[in-house]
A and B are shown apart, each in its own frame.
Chain A
Amino acid sequence: MNTRFPNRYLPYILIAPMIIVVIIFFLIPSVQSLYLSFFRVNPLGNRKIFVALENFSRLITNPNYRNSLLVSVEFAILVVFSGLSSSLFVATIANQRLPGFSVYRAMLIWPYALSPAIAGLVWGLMMNPNFGLGALLLKRLTTIEFNYLTSSISAILFLALAATWKMFGYNIVFFLAGLQGLPTELLEAASLDGAGGWQKFWKVTFPLLSPTTFFLLIMNMLYSFFEIFGLVHITTQGGPGQATNLLVFNLYKDGFIGMDTGFASAQSIVLLFFVATLTFLQFRYVGQKVHYR
C-alpha cells in the first residue's frame, strides 16, 4: 500500500482532462451509436424515424453485410493463424544465443513502425501481376496466376499477407519477451529427463507461453477487425466485387458514402459486441496468468 497524500481537490484536477475527453469523445458517441441504431435517418441527417430493431433485421437479411461478416471472419482467421504460428516458430528459433542472432532479431521488428496502408502498397508492388517479383516468382514455381485485382481468393490472401507481414514484428517482440521470461529450470529439467527439442517445445515451452499466445491472439483479432481499414481503402477498395469488403470498410461505405447512418450505427453496435467479447476474454484470462508467474 502506497502513501496517500491528503488532498481533497487535487486528484480530481489531475484526472479531469482525461475524464472530459473520455466522456465527450468516447462515452457520449457510443451511447449515441446505440440510440441511432434504432432509427432510420434520412441522408441529410435532419429527420429521424424510430424503427426499433429494423436496422438489425436488415443486417441479418442484407446479403452485402452477411458477405462482409463472412469475409471478415475468414480474414481474421487467416491473419491470426498464419501470423501467430509463423511468428512463434521464428521467435523460438530466434531466441538462441548463436552468433549473428541479435542482428536477425533487430531486423524482424521494424514493420511495427509501418502503417497497414504502407504494407498494402508495398505488397501491392510485390504481387503486381505485370512486374511484381512476388507474383512472378509464385507463377514460376507453382504456375498459379496470382492477381489480387481480379481474383477473389487472391485478393483476400493478398490482404492477409500484407496484414500478417505488418504485424510480424509486433508478434515477435511479445513472443521473444515471453520466451525470455520462461523459467530455465523447467527446460533444463526436461532435457535431463531426455526430452528432445520437439517434445520440450510442445510439453514445456508452449504451455508456459500460453498467456503470451492468448494475449497476442486477442490483439491480432482486434487488429484484423479494427486496424485494417487503411489497408483495404488504399488497395482493393473492398473488391473485386465484394471479396474484400471487410466490416469496417462496409461500415464506412454505408455510413459515409451511402449516408445510411442508422444502418451504419447498427453495424457499430455489432462491432462493439465483438470487441466487448474479446476484451472480456482478455481480462478473464489475464487473471489465470498468475498461476504461471
Chain B
Amino acid sequence: MKSETIISLPAQPRRDTAAWFRTRLLGPVLSHAVMIVAVTFIMFPMIYALLLASQTPSEYYNLQLLPGNALFENIAHTWNRINMGRLLANTAFVAITVAVGKIILSVMGGFAFVYFDFRGKGLLFGLILITHMLPLPVRIVPTFALVDAFGWTNSFQALTIPFFASATGILLFRQLYQTIPPALADAARIDGASPMQFLYSIVIPLSATNIAALFLIEFIYMWNQYLWPLLIANADSTRMVQIGLRQLVATDAAVEWHYVMSGVLLAAIPPLLLLILLQRNLIKGVALYEDK
C-alpha cells in the first residue's frame, strides 16, 4: 500500500532507471520470495501431516514424498482405536456450550454495565476484570478440589460451567454498546419499550459481528483445552479430543505416526473450518479486542 503511493507521486519522473528497477521490480520480487518462504513455513507441516496420514510406515520410513493409498484405512483405524466419534462429539458439545454461554452472559453483563446505574457497579466490574489475572494454573489445586467436591469429576458440568466467566466478553460488548447512539435508547424509552425489549430488538441485532467473533475465539479456545480436561474429565464418556490424541502417542511401543497424523487431521478440521467461515468477523473483532 505504502510503496505504491510513492510510485504514483506525479513529481517523480522515471529518469532514474536504477531506482525504477529497485522499486518496481526487485522490491516486488523480493516481497514475493519472503511471502513464499513464510507461507511454506506455515503450510508445509500440515501438508506433511496429511501426507503421513495417507502412508504406511514403510513408505514414510523410506521418505516417499508422494501420497500413499492408506488414508481411509488409517483414519478408520484411528477412529476406532480412540473412539474418535465420541471425542469429537464431546469436544463439540463443550466448545459450543461454553461459547454460547459466554456470549449470553457477556451480552447481559455488557448491557447492564452500559444502560443502568446501580450500587456497586465499579466493584462488580472490577471483579469481572480481575479474572484476566487468574488463569487456571494460578488456582488449579483448589479449583480441582472444589469441582471434585461438587461431584463433577468426569462430568460435562466440570468442562463447561467454570469457563462461563469472560472478562474479554464483557469488555467487548460494553465497548460496543457505548458506541450505540443514545438516541436509540431514548426513542425506545419514549415508545414505552422495556429494557429487555430494547435488548432483544435493538442491541442484540447490532451485536452480530461481535457475537460471531466471540463465538469463533471461544470455540477455538475450548476446542483446544488440554490441562483442565486432562485432570477433571479423562474418562471415556467425557474425554476431549486433545487428550484422545495424547493416547495415540502415549504408547510403550514406537509411535505410529500415520495414526497420530490421522488423528491430528480429524481434530484440526472443525476449528479450521470455523475459522475459514468466520475469519472476516475475527479481523473486525480484533480491532475491538486490542482497544481494551
Is B18 at the interface (CB under 8 A from chain A)?
no
Contacts of A261 in B (CB 8 A): 141
Contacts of A251 in B (CB 8 A): 137, 140
Query: Chain B 251-281, CB within 8 Å of chain A: the 1/0 string?
Result: 0000001001100100110011011100100
Interface of A is mostly: helix
Q: In the complex, A229→B225 CA distance in Å?
A: 10
Contacts of A275 in B (CB 8 A): 133-135, 138
Bin chain A's interface residue count.
Answer: 35 or more
Q: Say whether A14 contacts B108, CB under 8 Å.
A: yes
Q: Say whether A174 contacts B290, CB under 8 Å.
A: yes
Is B246 at the interface (CB under 8 A from chain A)?
yes
Interface of B is mostly: helix
Q: Say whether B32 contacts A98, CB under 8 Å.
A: yes
Query: Chain B 48-73, CB within 8 Å of chain A: the 1/0 string?
Result: 11001000000011010000000000
Q: Say whether A28 contacts B142, CB under 8 Å.
A: yes
Q: Say whether B165 contacts A122, CB under 8 Å.
A: no
Q: Say whether A93 contacts B34, CB under 8 Å.
A: yes
Stretch at the interface among B80-88, B123-131, B204-212: B123-131
Q: Say whether B283 contacts A112, CB under 8 Å.
A: no
Number of interface residues of B (CB under 8 A): 105
Given the interface pairs A18-B105, A25-B143, the reply to whether A1 lies near B130 with Cβ below 8 Å is: no
Is A188 at the interface (CB under 8 A from chain B)?
yes
- Picked from B5, B140, B178, the residue with its CB within 8 Å of the CB of A184 is B5
Stretch at the interface among A61-69, A124-132, A151-159: A124-132
Q: Say whether B143 contacts A229, CB under 8 Å.
A: no
Q: Say whether B242 contacts A115, CB under 8 Å.
A: yes
Q: In the complex, A247→B114 CA distance in Å?
A: 39
Contacts of A96 in B (CB 8 A): 1-4, 31
Is B89 at the interface (CB under 8 A from chain A)?
no
A-B contacts, 5 of them at CB < 8 A, read: A3-B185, A33-B139, A96-B1, A115-B226, A116-B224
